[in-house]
Structure 1
Amino acid sequence: MKKSRLYPFERNRYFYGKLLTVRDFESEQKYFNDKRRLLNRLLYGSGVLSGMQVVAVDDKTISVEMGVAIDYIGREIVIPSPVTLKLSMIEGFMNNEYKKNVYLCVAYDEKGKEPVHSVGNSSIRNDEVSEYNRVLESYRLFIVEEAPAPASFEFVQLLENVATIYEDANVRITQRMPKYVNAGEVVEVKLVVEKTLQTPRIALQFDYEAQGFAPLGSDKNKVTFAEPGNAQETEYTVSYHVKAPQAAGGMAELAVPNRAAKLTIGDAVIPLDTNAKHVVEVLEEPVTDRILKDWHERSLEQAVDGSSDQSICLAKIGLLQMGPTYMIEKVDRVPFGEYIESTALLQRLGQSGRSAALNRFYATARTYDLEFDAKPTLDVQYHPDRNEFGFDLGIPRPQHLYDEIATGTMEVALESIGKTGGFFFSRGKKNYVSDEIRHGLGEGQVTVVVGLEEIDHSLSLEKDAAKKKVYYGQSDVFKGTEHEPDIPNVSLGTLVYPEKGTFRIGMKLQGETETTASVIAVRWWAFKSLGAAKAGASAMEDDRLESALAEAAASEQDK
């Protein structure tokens, strides 16, 4: 196999009296090598099979562990023993100051071994002639300063749609999105900006045009990237989301027209010559089924198509420039995911249900405080790379009055205990103690008043003022009157932690009470005297002053 071209296989036919020449023996080796490499290419693909870990030994030295890989035309690459090298000793390393990252690659290589005297050649030539007696299948480590183009990887060609917005010797801006989407799916679009460290700051702004896709987010169809002023990075990724059409069976388009884009490098405005465009097919069937169909329908030429000079990237090495020299900042292993997984492992993962788990959705939640009079907010973000929804919930803080009063509510669920009509707390106990509640008035002594809150939903909307009632003290004193509450008879108590700025509410049901309520709502008020707070602070300052004077006096006596 030469440059991954497929040639018909021919093997030697032996017969008595056949004259064997160099051509016959080379043909014998080529037959087995080409057939094995063809199967390697079709069955396994290309990438690291095992080992080849790259680690930083010191500021300027790396170590590559032993391992096995298959290159892009099916040849085996074997590193038989660990190798430790200084970056400056590796082929291709120039230590250019404008390079933040360099890429360590490995490629298949052959070397002659065991030179011997050639008897046959010496009969026709007067000078000494030597030939190598063995061919050592080896490897070559080298460094490249430019990251490979995303579309050069076979798996990217199957899974992603890559469009180039701008590219020159120092800058490459691409946009990536899935090649296929399902109807109604939320799709992540990634804008990737790659540059050299010497290149001035980059800013890009454009309005994309969508046919079928619906913009998501507050920015609608506007995308903005501005490199931070103090950044020392050479690669940035900006993500935004669009929603696929609800109807399957057609094509959806997302384009970045050059007339609607503005690219600035330093102070120069760079015109864009091309219009980047994605054409994505909207499917009804699962995307994985369509990708497998594309894989199975490849022609033989497409299947074995590769490049004999394409190498495998083992590591992205981040460099930190230190004046005229450098130091290794970090090492990222196999940055472009060039791995080959064992079929046995993939089978076990499939049996364990991991493949099914990829079709599930997951959720994470985060809360944050809002002003007491603000409306609660909910922001939802979808992360398609891990099938995860992120919920950010904004909750108003308890109300502060005159900087010394705070209020809030707490709800406790009730459960029926059968025909008796009584109610227990949700954990089956008559006593309940809340978690610590932060009142927001800071440290120090506070007074907490609690009461039971009742909302009458039978009243009309015009009587909002009478809809909510709060009962303080013993609510059973209203029993038998028109003000009798529809809430259980509960005794309340509080436990305050002055040094923490928190408190707990304790509740106890008094006997069995009939009620239609499913929860108990407790309204609390926290009071803090500003005068007391100032006095406490002044006392603390006095204590600190006395302590400092005592230490100074002790120090003078020691002298």
Structure 2
Amino acid sequence: MKKTRYYPFERNRYFYGKLLTVRDFESEQKYFNDKRRMMNRLLHGSGVLTGLQVVAVDDKSVSVEMGAAIDALGREIVVPTPMTLKLSMMDGFSNNEYAKNVYLCIAYDEKDKEPVHAVANSSVRSDEINDYNRVLESYRVFIREDAPDPASLPLANLSDQTVVLYQDSKVRVLQTTPRYVNPGQLFEMKLRFEKTLKAGRLSFQYELAADRVEAMDGTTIAFQEPQDEPDSEYEMKVLLRADSTASVKSTIGVQQGSAVLKLDDRQLDIQAQAVGEVQIIPTSVHEKLMNDFVKQSLEASLEAPTEPCIYLAKICLIKMGATYVIENVEQVPFGEYVYNSSVMYRLGQTSQYREDTAGQFVTKSKVKTLAPGQPPQFKVNYNKAISELSFDLSIPAGGGSGIAGILSGVVDIPVEPFTKIAVSPFGRATKSFFSGEIAHGLGEGNVLIITSLEESSGDAFSDMLSSGDRVYGGASDVFKGSEFEPDAPEVKIGTIAYPQKGTFRIGVKVQQTSEPMNVRVRWWAYSAEMASTVRSGGDSIEDALSAAMREAASAGSGAE
């Protein structure tokens, strides 16, 4: 199908005795088709409407489920029944190499149907007097072995600009920056790495060349593909700050001659010339983007490729002997979806309500000073009405390290990025990070160490006196999806004590983080004597904690 021009619209004018020809009937259809397709394009956009999932059925074949889509010319694509396709039999698939990524695409197509005897054409088409009575609006499915230019995707440059820093048959490196920022604003530059699964371990390092932009963590940008669970896509975020000068343009790219891109020990020849542009504006970025969109010309709004298609899946192939096997299938890799207004309304409603928090609770800690000479106290209470688990510590005047048998502190554990992009059948990626050895100050011997995730800073006790601070005990994923969700990623905390050295170590297991950060852990260390003398209604610390936890669990399960 050739690129169409929807406008100006022209329809038939009927009058009594008018001679109707093929041209009149064709223009009647074209009038309504063009209007509908233009509205599809302007009101809805292009992409998958529903269904069209791509599933690997064996090592060399995929299945495309039934579904519907709208292409970049506003034409509807409907797949009425599932179909199974062998990659090697599809248009566009070549056998030049097997370790590669290929893209499964779908495009609008028309096919003639119902051949009939055309008497009127026999005088001019003596060699073929048959014609077709119907046109079937259909589709064609094919393979593209090259990733599309980022600028060719729908709404690609609406809010961001993506440039290609490097590309070959095995690796592609993309840089994405926002189109507009305000003076002094912190913003993220995203680096996206796409590679074939067996290409080797990817590493990329370069010096950032930026005008009117400051890199918050230094100008040396370095990425190293993690060794565990190799993937085909990774994303890295770099934090930048815009200049304080307004109404200027900033450029961001790679300093000439500084880039080193490797696959294992093999260095690739990279000559990065592409740069991204960021405009620093004094007005609202949101309003500027909306103005750019609504004020663009009709021609620009309807701009589309001559033969548009929708990328349904990225299929990762690996070489196996003399042939290939399908390793992974990523659905709609470039986010080409169309969300109707009803779906958007329901999603908007959902975001306004809290998810059910049954079985979840918030932990709070509080320190109180007692008169000198009084024994320290440790109380644990559970408030069923507000799902709150509180820890109250009372210590004699003198505070902190002056109290024999109990000490507290915080430690910041650095977490490096290890984002995992594609969906894995083995679950989400996790990685553990550890602190150095911490001297608890209670001397040699066994100690009881209690840890919690903290979202505050300061000294050992004053932070806990602030009602706005949060100290999370146990698994942080308990609060995921609620208003109590911590800013830090999902964390599990463990400790190792060294009784003969009087030290301990804290470890955290983190799930899927894409930027460097510090996880702050608060710890309490109790000597054996303190643990046996601190009471909560006659119970030991462990008994008090166990009783409160049982009550919280009972409340979460609906027990009275």
1:5 and 1:304 in contact (8 A); partners too = no
User: Aligned partners of 1:338 and 1:493: how far apart in 2?
Assistant: 61
Distance of 1:146 and 1:355 partners within structure 2: 43
Q: Distance in 1 between matches of 2:139 and 2:353?
A: 35
The 5 Å alignment of 1:161-172 reads: 161-168=161-168, 171-172=171-172
Q: Which amino acid aligns with 1:58?
A: D
The amino acid that maps onto 2:534 is: G
1:84 and 1:223 mapped to 2: Cα distance? 44
Q: How far, CA to CA, are the matches of 1:153 and 1:94 in structure 2?
A: 24
Instruction: Tell me the equivalent position of 1:270.
Output: 269
- In structure 2, the residue matched to 1:521 is none
Could you tell me which residue of structure 2 aligns to residue 149 of structure 1?
149
**Offset at 1:508?**
6.2
Partner of 1:293: 291
Q: Distance in 1 between matches of 2:537 and 2:346?
A: 55
**In structure 2, what is the equivalent of residue 119 of structure 1?**
119
* Match in the other structure for 1:344: 342
Structure 1 match to 2:90: 90
Distance 1:315 1:130, change over 3 A: same
Q: Distance in 2 between matches of 1:301 and 1:191?
A: 32
Matches of 2:55 and 2:319, distance apart in 1: 19
Q: Distance in 2 between matches of 1:26 and 1:130?
A: 19
Who is 1:77 aligned against?
Answer: 77
CA deviations on 1:286-314 (whole Å, 9 max, x unpaired) are 43332222111110110111113121011
SS at match of 2:72: coil
* 3-state SS of paired residue (2:535): strand
Measure, in 1, the Cα distance between the counterparts of 2:157 and 2:293: 11
Cα pair distance change 1:507/1:236, threshold 3 Å? closer
User: Residues 10 and 31 of structure 1 are in contact (CA less than 8 Å); yes or no, is this contact kept in structure 2?
Assistant: yes
* 1:506 paired to 2:534: yes
Query: Residues 44 and 321 of structure 1: is their aligned pair in 2 closer, same or farther, counting only changes over 3 Å?
Result: same
Q: Aligned equivalents of 1:84 and 1:36: distance in 2?
A: 31
Task: State how far apart, in whole Å, the 2-side matches of 1:39 and 1:237 are.
Answer: 35
Distance in 1 between residues matched to 2:268 and 2:333, nearest whole Å: 32
SS of match in other structure, 1:154: coil
Structure 1 CA distance for aligned equivalents of residues 20 and 310 of structure 2: 38
2:43 paired residue number: 43
Match of 1:316? 314
Partner of 2:445: 405
Consecutive unaligned residues of structure 2, counting only runs of 5 or more, are 356-406, 419-432, 452-464, 466-472, 475-493, 503-526, 539-560
TM-score w.r.t. the length of structure 2 is 0.63
User: Would the aligned equivalents of 2:206 and 2:254 in 1 still touch at CA under 8 Å?
Assistant: yes
1:149 deviation in Å?
A: 1.6
Larger radius of gyration: 1
Contact 2:150 2:163 in 1 (8 A): no
Please say if 1:58 is aligned against 2:58: yes
**What does 1:143-222 correspond to in 2, within 5 Å?**
143-168=143-168, 171-195=171-195, 204-217=204-217, 220-222=218-220
What's the CA shift string for 1:263-284, capped at 9, x where partnerless? 5676566262x53322212345
1:98 to 1:201, Cα distance in 2 relative to 1, 3 A: farther
Structure 1 pair 152/280, CA: closer, same or farther in 2 (3 Å)?
same
Deviation at 1:154, TM superposition (A): 2.7
Task: Give the corresponding residue for 1:331.
Answer: 329
Counterpart in 2 of 1:305?
303
Tell me, yes or no, if the aligned pair for 2:196 and 2:316 is still in contact at 8 Å.
no
Check whether the contact 1:177–1:190 (CA below 8 A) recurs between aligned residues. yes
Distance 2:49 2:240 in 1: 37
Distance, in Å, in 2 between the alignment partners of 1:21 and 1:331 is: 50
TM superposition shift of 1:75:
0.5
Q: Distance in 2 between matches of 1:269 and 1:196?
A: 15
Give the Cα–Cα distance (whole angstroms) in 1 for the partners of residues 450 and 342 of structure 2: 54
In structure 2, how many angstroms separate the alpha carbons of the residues matched to 1:278 and 1:182? 16
- Structure-1-length-normalised TM-score: 0.63
Q: Secondary structure at the match of 1:319?
A: strand
Q: Could you tell me how far 1:123 is from its partner in structure 2?
A: 3.3
The structure-2 alpha-carbon separation of the partners of 1:356 and 1:256, relative to structure 1 and needing over 3 Å to count, comes to farther
- Mapped contact 1:99–1:198 kept (Cα < 8 A): yes
Distance 1:12 1:94 in 2: 48
Kindly provide the amino acid, as one letter, of the partner of residue 32 in structure 1. Answer: F
For residues 240 and 20 of structure 1, the distance between their equivalents in structure 2, rounded to whole angstroms, comes to: 65
**Amino acid in the other structure paired with 1:8:** P
Residue of 472, 490, 497 corresponding to 1:440: 497
1:223 maps to which residue?
221
Q: Which amino acid aligns with 2:438?
A: R
**Residue 347 of structure 1, CA deviation:** 2.8
Whole-Å Cα distance in 1 between the matches of residues 233 and 168 of structure 2? 15
Amino acid at match of 2:276: H
Give the Cα–Cα distance (whole angstroms) in 2 for the partners of residues 124 and 97 of structure 1. Answer: 50
> Which residue number in structure 2 is paired with residue 388 of structure 1?
none
C-alpha separation in 2, matches of 1:377 and 1:3: 58
Contact 2:448–2:531 (CA<8 Å) still a contact in 1?
Answer: no
User: Which stretch shows the higher mean deviation, 288-297 or 303-312?
Assistant: 288-297
Residue type matched to 1:7 in 2? Y
CA distance in structure 1 between the partners assigned to 2:64 and 2:156 by the alignment? 27
For residues 6 and 394 of structure 1, do their structure 2 counterparts lie closer, same or farther at Cα, with a shift above 3 Å needed? same
- Give the whole-Å Cα distance in 2 for the aligned partners of 1:225 and 1:339: 30
Q: What letter matches 2:288 in structure 1?
A: R
Following superposition, the deviation at residue 171 of structure 1 comes to: 4.7
Counterpart CA distance in 2 for 1:233 and 1:493 is 50
Deviation at 1:319, TM superposition (A): 2.2
Distance (whole Å) between structure 2 residues aligned to residue 38 and residue 318 of structure 1 = 35
The answer on whether the counterparts of 2:311 and 2:333 sit within 8 Å (CA) in structure 1 is yes
Equivalent residue number for residue 252 of structure 1 = 250
Counterpart AA for 1:146:
D
How far has the Cα of 1:356 moved from its partner? Answer: 13
Q: Structure 1 residues 157, 139: CA separation in 2 closer, same or farther (over 3 Å shift)?
A: same
Do the aligned residues in 2 keep the contact of 1:252 with 1:279 (CA within 8 Å)? yes
Contact 2:61 2:86 in 1 (8 A): yes
Shift of 1:406: 5.6
Cα distance change of structure 1 residues 60 and 264 upon mapping to structure 2, 3 Å threshold: closer
Looking at structure 2, the residues matched to 89 and 286 of structure 1 have their Cα atoms a distance apart, in angstroms, of: 52
Rounded to whole Å, the distance in 2 between the matches of 1:29 and 1:381 is 60
Please say if residues 376 and 393 of structure 1, whose CA atoms lie closer than 8 Å, have aligned partners that are also in contact: no
Corresponding residue pairs, total:
409
Aligned mates of 1:18, 1:85 — CA distance in 2: 50
C-alpha contact (below 8 Å) 1:213/1:243 kept by paired residues: yes
Q: How far is the alpha carbon of 1:54 from its aligned partner?
A: 1.6
Question: 1:127 offset after TM fit, Å?
Answer: 3.9
Provide the rounded CA distance (Å) in 2 between the counterparts of 1:79 and 1:207.
48
How big is the shift at 1:63?
1.7
Q: Is the 8 A contact 2:46 2:154 kept in 1?
A: no
Letter in 1 for 2:316: G
Give SS of 2:157's match.
helix
Equivalent pair of 2:166/2:270 in contact (CA under 8 Å): no
* Contact 1:205/1:261, CA 8 A, preserved across alignment: yes
Instruction: Please tell me whether the aligned partners of residues 260 and 267 of structure 2 are also in contact (alpha carbons under 8 angstroms).
Output: no
Match of 1:75, as an amino acid?
R
Structure 1 stretches of 5 or more lacking a match?
358-371, 384-391, 412-425, 427-433, 447-471, 474-491, 496-504, 511-559
